[in-house]
Amino acid sequence: MDCNPRSLFFILLLLLSCVTPAFPVIYPPNEVNLLDSKASQGELGWISYPSHGWEEISGVDEHYTPIRTFQVCNVMEYSQNNWLRTNWIPRQSAQKIYVELKFTLRDCNSIPLVLGTCKETFNLLYLETDDDQGSHFREHQFSKIDTIAADESFTQTDLGDRILKLNTEVREVGPLTKKGFYLAFQDVGACVALVSVRVYFKKCPYTVRNLATFPDTVPMDSHSLVEVKGLCVNHSKEEEPPRMYCSTEGEWLVPIGKCLCNPGYEERSNTCQMCRAGFYKSALGNLECSKCPPHSFSHHEGSLHCGCEKNFFRAEGDPASMACTRPPSAPRNVISSINETSVILDWSWPEDTGGRRDVTFTVLCKRCRGVTANGSNSGTQRCEPCRSNVRFLPRAAGLHNTTVTVGDLLAHTNYTFEIEALNGVSALAPKMRQYAAVTITTNQAAPSPVTVIRKEKTSRNSVSLSWQEPERPNGIILDYEIKYYEKEEQETSYTILRARGCNVTLNGLKSNTAYLLQIRARTAAGYGASSPTFQFETSPDSFSISSESSQVVLIAISAAVAIILLTVLLYVLIGRFCCRSKSKHPDEKRLHFGNGHLRLPGIRTYVDPHTYEDPSQAVHEFAKELDASCIAIDKVVGAGEFGEVCSGRLKLPSKKEICVAIKTLKGGYTDKQRRDFLAEASIMGQFDHPNIIRLEGVVTRSKPVMIVTEYMENGSLDSFLRKHDAQFTGIQLVGMLRGIASGMKYLSDMGYVHRDLAARNILVNSNLVCKVSDFGLSRVLEDDPEAAYTTRGGKIPIRWTAPEAIAYRKFTSASDAWSYGIVLWEVMSYGERPYWEMSNQDVIKAVDEGYRLPPPMDCPATLYQLMLDCWQKERNNRPKFEQIVSILDKLIRNPGSLKITANTTSRPANLLLDRSSSEVPSMGTMGDWMDGMRTLPCKEAFSGVSYSSCDTLAKTSTEDLKKVGVTIVGPQKKIVSSLKALDSHTKNGPVPV
């Protein structure tokens, strides 16, 4: 082996390439190279002095890339001074540079026989100049940067080989001021190989922070930081001026401020990019673009907001993130409860609120003519806005609740109310707005009181007065009643006068006397309330009339008497003539045929068609004959007693087509069947009420024989309720019940007893208006004395019929009231079958023994009380329909009262309500209740104890009962629970009937 240190060194140098890790060199981004010896493929051309010193050698690096290296190894000779100088290196913008040297160095111990001559360091020097001085070179001009020693030169391996280690040393030089510089390496006798020389300076590289760009920045030489202002990236705006500091180490420090992406743009990889189609961004900021909300779209990129789909809108003030919305659909299930000249309208929320919560309701009132009393359109209809003095409670527009009371309407007048649901976008889509309409006819109402009375002239014995017509006459004023009396006499004796006009002269008064007077108006509906008391005084005696004027008065009086006598004579004569010449009007016949009821004059009376000798005459008296060609049958909706029931349309000449129900008489009928079939039309045709099914007419002159009535979209009430179990509010149910009661009041006022009032015989229209129908059965029951006691064919409504009507056919309006109680129960239990599956015989027996149906689930206590009242055994104690209507009206006006529920009872195990709880609320006295309890021993026991009030009695405990000798467990419990019921009853107070 060659022992020359030089050749040994080169062998070691070759070894070096094996130990150097084989990674491509990547410099940090904040280092800018001014010189990299490795990058040079050809000769570097550095100056070596003396020429036998440093030697340039070609080699390959670890990647086999050719590199240039410099070596020197004159270790055997003394006084070495070998220089190697780089080419001129332009400084560029650097103030401080870094010199990175990679070299190998042999330690002298590893070379034999060099003691004293061998060195283990070399010097690094530099020289600043403004230009390239070519080969001109002077040692003394150079300044020393440092002496470079190897950190590690050789390392012993396990095998005893020595391998050369690569050293890396970095030195800083600065500040530099001239345009360029040279580096020099001075060897003083070492064995060194310069593998690479890299000269670089540091900078803060171009960067984007917080959406601001910061350019390449060269740091200062000193330790201070360089402040750099950032520029917002495209499509962004400064929120706070962006800044950063560049450190001497070429690092960006302390970012301050930021930029935000413009509307329509979002931040994506340090840039602001347009929102994609289907997305939007309406505000400046670095949030992501949002997806278009429901019912909106954006077809283009960069959208600030999304447009609404067709028929959807955005109200002013709706945020861009809100879905587009539309006007609500019409309110549903409008029901009206008429009370004289006011009406309560109640409706359900629209099915579709348009996607908004700001729904309010507006009620438009129209007064319509050309509408029949029961609400049907008789053809042409003329409507005008209601008078401004119609009162809406709480108001007509902007209603948040689904009810309004409309007052001060005209009596006996047709009104249409259009109820519209509005929301924030209704104004933007006038064509899409929908409303629900309900037509009503107000009842008759008495006139309001006279409020303004004036004294026109006073004398000793007389006074002339005038007054203003009442503000709401509610009809034609027939006359005024004037009641007056001496103030001193305190109404013990008074005089009553009637006047047709608005003035009167009271004669025959005492002079110098104070009188009190009240006036009230009368219309067909009766007297209105009296005016406030009006006081006047006659003149004192000293006030005398001259003889001349008394003569004038006398003449005037005589003339007046003569005129009155003449008028009376004429009136009698004309009256007689008229009576004789008038055709016989059905109303007159009604007086003649009246069924024994005492009717008030002016109120029509029902005429039983069977009282006509020829019943077909009755049909034509009360029902209009229709031409069959005007009727189109659409489909069969059910089966009636005499044939099918169909739905169809009726188009009368010059009238609008309307939907109708058509009852047909099936072929092969007997004469009697035809008569019975048409009898229903004769009865129905006499009625004209919004809660009684309206007869449109009959077809008798062609076949099939038909009865045509108004069409009720929701069919019969029992099946309707079963279909909509638990879907109505209490007030809606009460509204329906009120309608039925109002129809029944009308029938009982007419003297008509229905006999088959049941939910199956009530029809419901699309506005939830309930109408009484089926006027056929009364006759069936009447004709068939056995019928009430049989169960054949379900014709006998045992469960609905009052005990006295079952027992001895005592059918009256009071027995209809019993049936009404059952209907009330059916309605509140959503169409449950009364007495469930008990047999008719058991029902008769149970009712007779005093059992009553229990309250339906969640049934308001007041309504259950009303049922119990209707089921009073003594028929005279049952409420009249007028009272029922008024109770229900009170409930509607005060819906809070519906919240107190009766003892909620699901179907009891033995199907019967324990009779104490059914009887307690309706009994009159303590004794009645005792009788009701049928606990004789208890009654006797109680009779020995004094209870001051029901209250104390209610506090009675089982213990108390034991004390008075009631020891059997059953009666004890019954008594205690009944006492509790009685207590709550007396506390809540009975319903005024």
698 sits near ligand ACK (criterion: CB under 6 A): no
Q: Applying CB under 6 A, which part among 83-91, 170-178, 664-672, 713-721 lies near ligand ACK?
A: 713-721
323 sits near ligand ACK (criterion: CB under 6 A): no
We find the least distance from the C-beta atom of residue 718 to ligand ACK, in angstroms, to be: 8
We find the least distance from the C-beta atom of residue 764 to ligand ACK, in angstroms, to be: 9
Q: Applying CB under 6 A, which part among 66-74, 573-581, 710-718, 739-747 lies near ligand ACK?
A: 710-718
Residue length, the chain?
993
Q: Which residues, 127 to 156, sit near ligand ACK by CB under 6 A?
A: none
Q: Could you tell me the CA-to-CA distances from 352 to 286, 349, 399, 885 in Å, in that order?
A: 37, 8, 17, 34
891 sits near ligand ACK (criterion: CB under 6 A): no
Specify the 3-state DSSP secondary structure of 919.
helix
Name the residue nearer to ligand ACK (CB basis): 645 or 806. 645
* Alpha-carbon gap, residue 530 to 533, rounded angstroms: 8
* Alpha-carbon gap, residue 360 to 241, rounded angstroms: 49
- Annotate 696-724 with DSSP letters as a single string: EEEE-SSSS-EEEEE--TT-BHHHHHHHT
117 sits near ligand ACK (criterion: CB under 6 A): no
What DSSP character marks residue 507? -
Residue 435: CA atoms inside 13 Å, Cβ hemisphere, count? 17
We find the least distance from the C-beta atom of residue 705 to ligand ACK, in angstroms, to be: 16
The count of chain residues that interact with ligand ACK, using the rule CB under 6 A, is 14
375 sits near ligand ACK (criterion: CB under 6 A): no
* The pair of three-digit structure tokens given for residue 178, joined into one six-digit string: 């001239």
We find the least distance from the C-beta atom of residue 637 to ligand ACK, in angstroms, to be: 5
* Alpha-carbon gap, residue 526 to 675, rounded angstroms: 39
711 sits near ligand ACK (criterion: CB under 6 A): yes
636 sits near ligand ACK (criterion: CB under 6 A): no
Burial 529-558 (b: 16+ CB within 10 A, else e): eebeebebebbeeeeeeeeeeeeeeeeeee
Q: Mask: binding to ligand ACK, 919-958, rule CB under 6 A, as x and -?
A: ----------------------------------------
Name the residue nearer to ligand ACK (CB basis): 502 or 763. 763
We find the least distance from the C-beta atom of residue 736 to ligand ACK, in angstroms, to be: 15
Q: Applying CB under 6 A, which part among 169-177, 334-342, 466-474, 705-713 lies near ligand ACK?
A: 705-713
Q: Using an 8 Å Cβ cutoff, are 72 and 54 in contact?
A: yes
* The pair of three-digit structure tokens given for residue 619, joined into one six-digit string: 């049909």
We find the least distance from the C-beta atom of residue 779 to ligand ACK, in angstroms, to be: 17
We find the least distance from the C-beta atom of residue 797 to ligand ACK, in angstroms, to be: 15
637 sits near ligand ACK (criterion: CB under 6 A): yes
Name the residue nearer to ligand ACK (CB basis): 557 or 639. 639
Q: Using an 8 Å Cβ cutoff, are 188 and 84 in contact?
A: no
* Alpha-carbon gap, residue 821 to 836, rounded angstroms: 16
We find the least distance from the C-beta atom of residue 609 to ligand ACK, in angstroms, to be: 20
Element (H, E) at 852: none
Active site residues: 756
We find the least distance from the C-beta atom of residue 661 to ligand ACK, in angstroms, to be: 3
Name the residue nearer to ligand ACK (CB basis): 354 or 715. 715
Non-local (6+) Cβ contacts of 21 within 8 A are 62
Q: Which of 337, 538, 709, 917 binds ligand ACK (CB under 6 A)?
A: 709
Q: Applying CB under 6 A, which part among 369-377, 556-564, 714-722, 843-851 lies near ligand ACK?
A: 714-722
Q: What is the dihedral angle through the alpha carbons of 623, 626, 630, 633, rounded to the nearest 10 degrees?
A: 70
We find the least distance from the C-beta atom of residue 639 to ligand ACK, in angstroms, to be: 6
Name the residue nearer to ligand ACK (CB basis): 585 or 635. 635
Q: Mask: binding to ligand ACK, 404-433, rule CB under 6 A, as x and -?
A: ------------------------------
Name the residue nearer to ligand ACK (CB basis): 363 or 758. 758
We find the least distance from the C-beta atom of residue 593 to ligand ACK, in angstroms, to be: 28
* The pair of three-digit structure tokens given for residue 132, joined into one six-digit string: 């390239």
Q: Which of 66, 241, 385, 638 binds ligand ACK (CB under 6 A)?
A: 638
715 sits near ligand ACK (criterion: CB under 6 A): yes
* Alpha-carbon gap, residue 719 to 682, rounded angstroms: 27
163 sits near ligand ACK (criterion: CB under 6 A): no
What are the backbone angles phi and psi of residue 404, rounded to the nearest 5°? -150, 145
Name the residue nearer to ligand ACK (CB basis): 393 or 639. 639
Closest residue by Cα to residue 424 from 354, 518, 477, 485:
354
Q: Which residues, 717 to 776, sit near ligand ACK by CB under 6 A?
A: 719, 763
Q: Which residue is nearest to ligand ACK (CB)?
A: 638
Specify the 3-state DSSP secondary structure of 458.
strand
Q: Mask: binding to ligand ACK, 666-695, rule CB under 6 A, as x and -?
A: ---------------------------x--
Q: Using an 8 Å Cβ cutoff, are 62 and 237 in contact?
A: no
Q: Could you tell me the CA-to-CA distances from 977 to 915, 958, 959, 972 in Å, in that order?
A: 11, 10, 14, 9
640 sits near ligand ACK (criterion: CB under 6 A): yes
What are the backbone angles phi and psi of residue 878, rounded to the nearest 5°? -75, 150
Q: Which of 645, 769, 796, 898 binds ligand ACK (CB under 6 A)?
A: 645
Name the residue nearer to ligand ACK (CB basis): 640 or 821. 640
712 sits near ligand ACK (criterion: CB under 6 A): yes
Name the residue nearer to ligand ACK (CB basis): 331 or 640. 640
We find the least distance from the C-beta atom of residue 773 to ligand ACK, in angstroms, to be: 6
Q: Which of 32, 661, 802, 979 binds ligand ACK (CB under 6 A)?
A: 661
* The pair of three-digit structure tokens given for residue 925, joined into one six-digit string: 């006295």
Name the residue nearer to ligand ACK (CB basis): 226 or 658. 658
- Give a three-class secondary structure readout of 375-397: CCEEEEEEEEECCCCCEEECCCC
Pairing of strands 162-164, 154-156: antiparallel
Q: Using an 8 Å Cβ cutoff, are 204 and 28 in contact?
A: no
Name the residue nearer to ligand ACK (CB basis): 219 or 640. 640
Pairing of strands 143-149, 231-232: unpaired
Name the residue nearer to ligand ACK (CB basis): 711 or 942. 711
716 sits near ligand ACK (criterion: CB under 6 A): yes
Burial of residue 625 (CB within 10 Å: 0-12, 13-18, 19+) is exposed
Q: Applying CB under 6 A, which part among 108-116, 200-208, 258-266, 709-717 lies near ligand ACK?
A: 709-717
- Annotate 724-763 with DSSP letters as a single string: TTT-S-HHHHHHHHHHHHHHHHHHHHTT---S---GGGEE
Cα 780 → chain centroid: 50
User: Which residues of the shown chain bind ligand ACK in the complex (CB under 6 A)?
Assistant: 637-640, 645, 661, 693, 709, 711-712, 715-716, 719, 763
